[in-house]
Structure 1
Amino acid sequence: MRKQTILVLQGPQGTEADLSYLADTARAQDAHLSVLHIGPTEPIPAYAYGGMPYGAVEIPHKWVEERESLARDLDEKRKQTNHFFEKEGVSGEAGVICTFPASLDDVVAPRAMLCDVAVIQDDLRSYDDAFRNLLYGVLFKSPAGIVLNPHRTEKPLQPAHVFIAWNTSKPAARAVREALPMLVAAKQVTIATFDAVKNETADGEEPGADLARWLSHHGCNVTVRQYDSAGVELGKAIREHASGVGADLIVMGAYGHTRVREAVFGGTTRSMVDQKDAAVFLAH
């Protein structure tokens, strides 16, 4: 799909070279790149002295200096990114978010609402709380899908072979719909079901066939495969079979269970978020 807006979330260690593959995509699809340079800051270590209500609160100068230094560095990266766009001849703009990790989901959500797809750059994994709150902000507070581990494949937004981990859940259907432009443009789409229950009230008499017909009407070249996980953790089974067919990108629904349940007990989404070996597109 041409003329998409691509939201790119990049951390303090991100470089201009990390944006090169996106510039190629923007040129090929006449897309617009909206890059946010994210600076997660430490909580304010405020100290109180004196009795209330006459006491005072003091914020250490070191914290203020570090925060201001980070903001300056990010602003310099913003300028460099805008210059990069001009040099590469692509449509785009860069901005800065410098705030606490706990508030990043609320800050990024309005940006994600007005994009076609979001990408989290790999360097943000160094900031675990920030990474997860950005992910939750996109998935739970906007309708957009998001790409993780983009550098695990040459063209994560222009995949040649897409592997859909399919079930009949609403998150899985949302993921397919949000990824439809990539699916239509791909040379091959594999629909994979795992441990499917073959009846009308579960996964259908022929799991994956209905989705295959719908995608075929859109012009996709579709193959349906039905797998037995054979006791292997589902996230690992998805990655192994996707690699086995030579897929560039995995598409799947996120958080079929609640966020809290997945965070405490684990789950397929958590497994796919934590892994760093395969590019994956998630939507909720």
Structure 2
Amino acid sequence: MKNILLLIHDDGGQEGRLQVALDLCRAIDGHLTCLDVTYVPPVLGDGYGAAYVLGDVVTQEAAREVDNKGKVVARLADEGISWDWIDAAGDIAPTLQRAAELTDVIVVNREVGDFAYPDMHGAAAELIVRSGKPVLAVPADCRGLDHAAALIAWDGSRCAAAALRAAVPLLKRTDHVTIVEVQDGSITTTPAEDAAEYLARYGVPADIRRITASPAGPALLKEASSGGFGYVVMGGYGHLRLVEALFGGVTRTMLGESPIPVFLAH
């Protein structure tokens, strides 16, 4: 993990994801690519009136992003990291996905927060499933990546294993790692002991803790909210997204409510 793709957009969550991306970049000695997206909203209605309103919105958005770029670039010049900048326009998730071919992790927010559009929760979900890259989903009020302790949410799935493998470079720089397996009656294909053994080969010792709870989402959210961890590593949408949308699910719960950054892979 060396190449970090960061969404730059003038919204309420930008400071949080910028700080987390900078901390991640320093932790793994990585390179930060800033993708500055001028958001183009969908056209509501038809005819010249709708086109005029859309053009006015895009013009205002572009002006705001130019001002935002100047401020962020000035900050990056003093951060002492390797970085580059890409300007783009379009919808958030597809634009990030197109730019992510040579990226190791994408940093976005769980949701934008004070903007009705774009929907960052939806963008994060789309990127987890469609980009083929791990996503670091950051709470809007987060002010950095604390890698003193990590929680690995383990269910034995292929998605959990993919997240674990992708997170190894960061886990190697984390002081304490705990694998939490919530026993909710579901069948796990790979036990937590195998995950711990895998990490041990990379020099990452990990404790194992099992919790009996059903459903698993609230139990993991309680762990993430305990103050004992700086970030979570977990598989994203291990079950069909339609099923999770209808009945909830761990991914949906953590994307919606986790107070700490969540590293997800599908």
Q: Aligning the two structures, in what range does the TM-score lie when normalised by the shorter sequence?
A: 0.7 to 0.9
User: Does residue 6 of structure 2 align to residue 8 of structure 1?
Assistant: yes
- Give me the whole-angstrom Cα distance separating, in 2, the residues matched to 1:91 and 1:216: 30
Tell me the amino acid that sits aligned with residue 81 of structure 2: V
Listed as ranges, the gaps of 5+ residues in structure 1 are: 49-56
Instruction: Give the counterpart letter for 2:120 in structure 1.
Output: F
Q: TM-score if structure 1 supplies the norm length?
A: 0.80
Partner of 2:89: 98
State the secondary structure of the residue aligned to 1:87.
Answer: coil
Q: Distance in 2 between matches of 1:150 and 1:274?
A: 9
TM-score by length of 2: 0.85
CA-based RMSD of the aligned residues comes to 2.9
- Which of residues 218, 222, 237 is equivalent to 2:206? 222
- After TM superposition, the structure 1 = structure 2 runs for residues 38-49 of structure 1, keeping only pairs within 5 Å, are 38-48=37-47
- Between 1:214-223 and 1:118-127, the stretch displaced more is 118-127
Give the whole-Å Cα distance in 2 for the aligned partners of 1:269 and 1:237. Answer: 12
Percent identity between matched residues is 27
Between the aligned partners of 2:60 and 2:67, the Cα distance in structure 1 is: 11
- Letter of the structure 2 residue corresponding to residue 141 of structure 1: R
> Aligned match of 2:256 in 264, 274, 277?
274
Q: Give, in angstroms, the shift of residue 194 of structure 1.
A: 1.2
CA contact (8 A) 2:182 2:210 kept: yes
Kindly indicate whether the alpha-carbon contact (under 8 Å) linking 2:105 and 2:133 is maintained by their aligned counterparts in 1.
Answer: yes
Task: Give the alignment partner of residue 145 of structure 1, picking from 110, 134, 137.
Answer: 134
Moved more, 218-227 or 81-90: 81-90
What SS does the aligned partner of 2:172 have? Answer: helix
Matched, 1:170 2:161: no
Alignment of 1:127-206 (within 5 A): 127=116, 130-149=119-138, 155-156=144-145, 159-195=147-183, 202-203=188-189
Per-residue Cα deviation, 1:5-32 (whole angstroms, up to 9, x for no partner):
2111243225885534543543454321
Distance (Å, rounded) in 2 between the aligned partners of 1:44 and 1:203? 46
| 1:114 maps to 2:114 | no
Q: Cα deviations across residues 143-187 of structure 1 (Å, max 9, x unaligned)? A: 32112225666642x611111111121111011011111111111
Q: CA distance change for structure 1 residues 33 and 218 in 2, over 3 Å: closer, same or farther?
A: same
The superposition leaves residues 65-99 of structure 1 with CA deviations (integer Å, 9 ceiling, x where unpaired) of 12111112112322332232223332212334432
Q: What is the identity, as a one-letter code, of the residue corresponding to 1:130?
A: D
| Cα displacement (A) at 1:273 | 1.0
Is the 8 Å Cα contact of residues 6 and 33 (structure 2) preserved in structure 1? Answer: yes
Q: Does 1:260 align with 2:248?
A: no
- Report the AA paired with residue 59 of structure 2: E
Amino acid of the structure 1 residue aligned with 2:259: D
**Shift in alpha-carbon separation, 1:244–1:16, aligned structure 2, 3 A:** closer
Q: Which gives a bigger RCO, structure 1 or 2 (Cα 8 Å, sep 6+)?
A: 2
Report if the CA contact (8 A) 1:10-1:124 is conserved. Answer: no
Residues 207-227 of structure 1 show CA distances to partners (whole Å, capped at 9, x for unaligned) of 311111111111112101111
Offset from partner CA, 1:248-271 (integer Å, 9 cap, x none): 111110111112222222211111
